[in-house]
Amino acid sequence: MKARILVCGGAGYIGSHMVRQLLANDYDVVVYDNLSQGNAEAVGDVPLIRGDLLDREALAALFAGHEFDAVYHFAALIAVGESVTAPDLYYRNNVTGTLNLLDAMRVAGVDRFVFSSTAAIFGNPQTELISEDHPKAPLNPYGRSKLMIEQVLEDYGHAFGIRSVCFRYFNAAGAHPSGDIGEAHDPETHLVPNVLLAALGERDGLEIFGDDYDTRDGTCIRDYIHIDDIASAHLKALGYMDAHPGAHVFNLGNGNGFSNKEVLDAAARVIGKNREIPYRIGPRRAGDAAVLVADSSHAREALGWAPATPDIEDIIETAWNWHRAPKYGPFAK
């Protein structure tokens, strides 16, 4: 029988790419999403149940009405800056919401859980490459809310037999090669889409937040990973949980860092025709670490995972394919 997967947040950027990959691998999928950030158009041809993780009755009805073998949880607030000014929103949505989801799973006897965590749990790195056991010192409530759930999952593994995998994403980027789904945040705060929106004239140029960091060109360095490579790791988590009880964590990145200026240059090469992307240097953004690059060897070895699209230009190419003609979201054509 096909495994049945609940995807919470399946209308969002990462969740919608996960749904496509689950369908391509013959899983049965139901999406639960409050559409506060996501887009119904992104879900495709699977049942979309509109509901909130803070609505315990709706969650109980969801699990009473369906049988699930595993839950993927992508439904969270993700804006680091907003989490500093409105921590209540972040702790309520990201922590209380996840506890509600885990409660509903336990009542229904569902014991497999895959969780979206983040490189933001590490804070400023003490080593060049960040491995799973690097000290955790989140710089903001967003990162703390994710770390709290990692700790909850460890305890729930011991106490309740919940099997879980947490993936700490570094910088998710790119879009599905079909051009049907892609990144459509509102407001958009991420570098790659903002570079492309600047190239398209949808932004008054790109603002690079600081060029006085201790890096090769003074701008921050990040590890960009294609969205479908994130999804393919999640797919492998199902088999991994079958063989490994308890709570597990994996860092997901390519292990290559690109500075903000290097991303801008790579985008200019992808767009071609010697296109100049207008930019200016602004002040540093609060909460930014200078360098964040993943050591993903644990995911490669334990999951047998390898990124299919590790090249920064290839990643940006898929994002450009989407941003030129987004099918939904604030810049839909």
Which residues contribute to the site for ligand UFG (CB under 6 A)? 78, 80, 118-120, 170-171, 189-191, 194, 206-209, 220, 222, 260, 285, 288, 292
Buried b (16+ CB within 10 A) or exposed e, 52-73: bbeeeebbeebbeebebbbbbb
**Cβ distance to ligand UFG smaller for residue 70 or 78:** 78
| Residue 4, amino acid | R
Q: Find the largest Cα–Cα distance for the chain.
A: 59
Please report how close the Cβ of residue 72 comes to ligand UFG at its closest, in angstroms: 17
**Cβ distance to ligand UFG smaller for residue 157 or 210:** 210
Please report how close the Cβ of residue 132 comes to ligand UFG at its closest, in angstroms: 15
Give the separation between CA 233 and CA 230, rounded to whole angstroms. 5
Please report how close the Cβ of residue 162 comes to ligand UFG at its closest, in angstroms: 24
Tokens read off for 318 = 């898929």
Active site residue 240: no
3-class state of residue 3 by DSSP: coil
Tokens read off for 178 = 């079909």
Please report how close the Cβ of residue 142 comes to ligand UFG at its closest, in angstroms: 6
**Cβ distance to ligand UFG smaller for residue 178 or 189:** 189
| Residue 195, amino acid | V
Residue 243 region by backbone torsions, left for phi larger than 0, else alpha for psi between -120 and 50, else beta: alpha
**Cβ distance to ligand UFG smaller for residue 30 or 208:** 208
Please tell me which residue in 142, 156, 213, 224 is annotated as part of the active site.
142
**Cβ distance to ligand UFG smaller for residue 134 or 163:** 134
3-class state of residue 29 by DSSP: strand
β-pairing verdict for 4-8 and 28-33 = parallel
Q: Can you list the positions of beta strands (E) in the chain?
A: 4-8, 28-33, 48-50, 70-73, 112-118, 163-169, 171-173, 206-209, 221-222, 224-226, 247-252, 258-259, 279-282, 291-292
Please report how close the Cβ of residue 292 comes to ligand UFG at its closest, in angstroms: 5
Please give the angle made by the CA atoms of 189, 195 and 196, to the nearest 5 degrees.
110
**Cβ distance to ligand UFG smaller for residue 5 or 79:** 79
- Report whether the peptide linkage leading into residue 307 is cis, meaning its omega lies within 30 degrees of zero: no
**Closest alpha carbon to 191 in 218, 220, 169, 212:** 220
Please report how close the Cβ of residue 118 comes to ligand UFG at its closest, in angstroms: 4
What residues are labeled active site? 142
